[in-house]
Amino acid sequence: MANFISRGFTRRRQTPEELVDRLPPGQYFERGFPVLTAGPTPHLSLGSWVFRIDGMVGGQREWNWEEFNQLPSENVPCDIHCVTKWSKLGTSFRGVSVDTLLDGVDPKGAYTMAYSYGGYTTNVPLADLTGGKAWVVTEHEGEPLPREHGGPARLLVPHLYFWKSAKWVAGLRVLDHDEPGFWEQNGYHIRGDPWKEERYWND
Amino acid sequence: MERLTPVEIRAPGEWQIATVTEVIDETPRVKSFRFDVPMWMEHLPGQHYDVRLTAPDGYRAERSYSIASSPLDVGQVELTIDLLDDGEVSPYFHEVVQVGDQVELRGPFTSYFVWRGETPVVLVGGGSGVVPLMCMLRHKRRTMPELDMRLVYSVRYPDDVIYRDELGDDAALTYTREAPDGWSGHTGHIDAELMRGPADGAGLAFVCGSNGFVEAASDLLVELGMGPSAIRTERFGPTS
């Protein structure tokens, strides 16, 4: 199979040369920002929005929208990779580092389940969220995060496939075991590293 | 009833070389490709395959395509592919691929946007978003024809209707830009008038199309009384 050539196929899509090395295997360069969601887009009111850290923790934390926006935030320049094959390179978000959110929380487990308004879930090992690798973001390229892209706030874990970056995120539940979230129960890989092309269950 | 698809499938995930056995011109911009698949596995209606093309210099392009055929077609899958102007995989299929060609693919994958026999069910498709829905409809007709499944299908122009000969009384069609001469059915974007009948009593909806279409259709279904968790969506952007 390694030697298989598709008869008459040649490259048609040009990736800017300086970006070629930033494209994981099987991905293509996309200038837009496609929307992919498993259900209708939820309508959330900022007045009732809260973000929680709960589960197996020494101390549960909760912020309302106003409190959340007072947390120290940072710009996050990043590349994002969707399991449906598109990658958006050189984009940016702004938000609060998960390290900041976990400060004083004392997690008792090594796994988490991110959960969202609307019922979406996705599992991420704690090690993939800490050490400056993940954020809860409220802006995209200088603008408030649009609703269709997960606004008011989404998780951002750019080193994993983008389904891990839960839209409309409502909290992180710390667990002592790994457990498949929504897409992980429905055929997608339990971890989802784009550089290892971990798309589906058996990859 | 005895031919319901299994509840869960673990796809082999291996790339395999399938052979094109038939190319069907559906519309000027849409073709269906039937493949013989050596490591074929029964799919759930709504699932997809990944296709991988490899150029002589090693360059590769991968895309996902919904399955259009019933899993009763043992050993075969049909993928319906919309030609996208700035794409690189869809133009290859449209301009190069012919019967007898070999194509690398793997699947079937993912088990959320899949129909497992629920009824009554409403299917809402925009443009080539009808493909996974036709898989459900074809399978329903061959396994449980009496079962209540209705299709709402939105296209822009008369030329855009995919699977034209298979749209029966259970399909409500609308033309958003231009209707054929003599058309007395619905025109314009999907609205409550078009959706009310097909959605009446439905416990589950499958909505597939562009993001804008899916947003509009699922908002309408919610307005007509469906719970958001009963609405499964699949969206495609202007990509590939």
Q: How many angstroms separate the CA of residue B71 from the nearest CA in chain A?
A: 18
Based on the fold, state whether residues B93 and B126 are members of the same structural domain.
Answer: no
Classify residue A107: in a domain, yes or no: yes
Compute the distance between CA of residue A181 and CA of residue A115 in angstroms, rounded to an integer: 9
CATH number of domain containing B198: 3.40.50.80
**Both tokens assigned to A30:** 């996309």
What integer pLDDT is reported at residue A1 of this predicted model?
Answer: 54
Mutate to test the interface with B, among A1, A5, A6, A162 (most CBs of B within 10 A): A6
Residues A152/A138, Cβ–Cβ less than 8 Å = yes
Which of B53, B54, B228 is facing A40, going by the closest CB pair?
B228
Last residue of a domain, one of B80, B109, B138: B109
Residues B125, B105 share a domain: no
**Chain A nearest-CA residue for B227:** A40
Whether the complex's predicted ipTM is more than 0.95 is answered with: no
pLDDT for A135-179, tens place per residue? 999 999 999 999 999 999 999 999 999 999 999 999 999 999 999
Q: What pTM does this model have?
A: 0.91
Q: Are both B73 and B144 inside the same structural domain?
A: no
Do residues A184 and B110 lie in contact, with contact meaning Cβ atoms separated by under 8 Å? no
Position A112 in a domain: yes
Residue A40, domain member (yes or no): no
Residue A35: per-residue pLDDT: 87
Say yes or no: A111 contacts chain B, CB-CB below 8 A: no
The overall average pLDDT reported for chain A is 95
> How many Cβ pairs within 8 Å bridge chains A and B?
128
Residue to mutate among B57, B221, B235, with most A CBs inside 10 A, is: B235
Domain contains A109 = yes
| A153 close to A171: Cβ distance less than 8 angstroms | no
User: B212 with B135, same domain?
Assistant: yes
Q: Residue A10 has what pLDDT?
A: 92
Percent of chain B past pLDDT 90, that is, above it, reads 89
Nearest to A4 among B104, B233, B235 (CB): B104
Q: Hey, are the CB atoms on B54 and A203 less than 8 Å from each other?
A: no
- pLDDT score recorded for residue B2: 41
Average of per-residue pLDDT across B144-157: 96
Q: How many CA atoms does the CB half-sphere of B180 hold within 13 Å? A: 10
Within 10 A of B213 (CB to CB), how many other CB atoms are there?
23
B9 within domain boundaries:
no
Question: With an 8 Å Cβ cutoff, is A8 touching chain B?
Answer: yes
Distances (CA, A) of B170 to A68, A126, A203, B43, B212: 50, 49, 39, 24, 24
For residue B36, the enclosing domain spans 16-109
One domain, residues B81 and B132: no
Of the candidates A110, A203, A119, A130, the one whose C-alpha atom is nearest the C-alpha of residue A161 is: A203
| Sequence-separated (6 or more) residues with CB below 8 Å from residue B204 | B118, B121, B122, B230, B232
Look at residue B177 and give its three-state secondary structure. coil
User: Rounded mean pLDDT of B105-124?
Assistant: 94
pLDDT at B85: 86
- Residue B2 belongs to a domain: no
Query: Which pLDDT score is estimated for A34?
Result: 87
Residues B100 and B131 in one domain: no
> What sign for the dihedral angle of Cα B219, B223, B226, B229?
positive
pLDDT in tens, B168-177: 999 999 999 9
Inter-chain CB proximity A187 and B112 less than 8 Å:
yes
The answer to whether position A14 is within a domain reads: no
Does the pLDDT of residue B1 top 50, yes or no?
no
Q: CA dihedral in degrees (B196, B197, B198, B204; nearest 10)? A: 60
SS3 B92: helix
In the block, which residue shows the tokens 């031919």? B3
What's the domain range around A136? 23-33+53-196
Look up the CATH number of the domain holding residue B62: 2.40.30.10
Count of beta carbons in the 10 Å neighbourhood of residue B192: 11
Whether B191 and B230 map to the same domain: the answer is: yes
Instruction: Label residue A33 by pLDDT band (50, 70, 90).
Output: confident
Tell whether A44 is covered by a domain. no
Does residue B80 form part of some domain?
A: yes
Residues B131 and B49 in one domain: no
Distance from CA of A100 to the nearest CA of B (A): 33
Across the interface, do A85 and B112 touch by the CB < 8 Å criterion? no
> Is residue A60 within 8 angstroms of chain B, CB to CB?
no
Domain C-terminal end among B109, B138, B171: B109
Of B16, B92, B211, which is closest to A9 when you measure between CB atoms? B92
Looking at the fold, whether B46 and B127 belong to one and the same domain comes out as no
Q: Tell me, yes or no, if A196 comes closer than 8 A to chain B by beta carbon.
A: no
Please indicate, yes or no, if residue B115 is contained in any of the structural domains: no
Question: Residue B237 and residue A34: Cβ atoms within 8 Å?
Answer: yes
Residues B86 and B152 in one domain: no
**B154 and B204, same domain (yes or no):** yes
Instruction: Specify the CATH number for the domain of residue A124.
Output: 3.90.420.10
Kind and range of the H or E element at A154? strand A154-156
Taking a C-beta distance cutoff of 8 angstroms, is the pair B151, B172 a contact?
yes
Q: What is the mean pLDDT of residues B200-214?
A: 95
Determine the average pLDDT of the residues in B84-94: 93
Average pLDDT along chain B: 92
pLDDT value at residue A53: 98
Instruction: Among B74, B109, B144, identify where a domain stops.
Output: B109
pLDDT (tens digit, 9 = 90+) per residue, A63-95?
999 999 999 999 999 999 999 999 999 999 999
| A183 interfacial to chain B (CB closer than 8 Å) | yes
Domains held by chain A: number: 1
Which of the listed ranges A43-47, A56-60, A128-132 does the model predict with the highest average pLDDT? Answer: A128-132
Q: What is the pLDDT of residue B6?
A: 46
Structural domain count, chain B: 2
Q: Distance between CA atoms of A22 and A89, rounded to whole angstroms?
A: 8
- Classify residue B172 as left (phi > 0), alpha (psi -120 to 50) or beta: beta
> Is residue B105, in this structure, part of any structural domain at all?
yes
Does any domain span residue A16?
A: no
pLDDT mean over B67-72? 97
Co-location of B142 and B73 in the same domain: no
pLDDT tens, position by position, A107-135: 999 999 999 999 999 999 999 999 999 99
Helix (H) or strand (E) holding B143: helix B130-143
**Per-residue confidence (pLDDT) for residue A12, from 0 to 100:** 84
- Nearest-Cα distance to chain A for B170, in Å, is 24
* C-beta atoms surrounding A77 within 10 Å: 9
What six digits make up the tokens of B8?
A: 């869960």
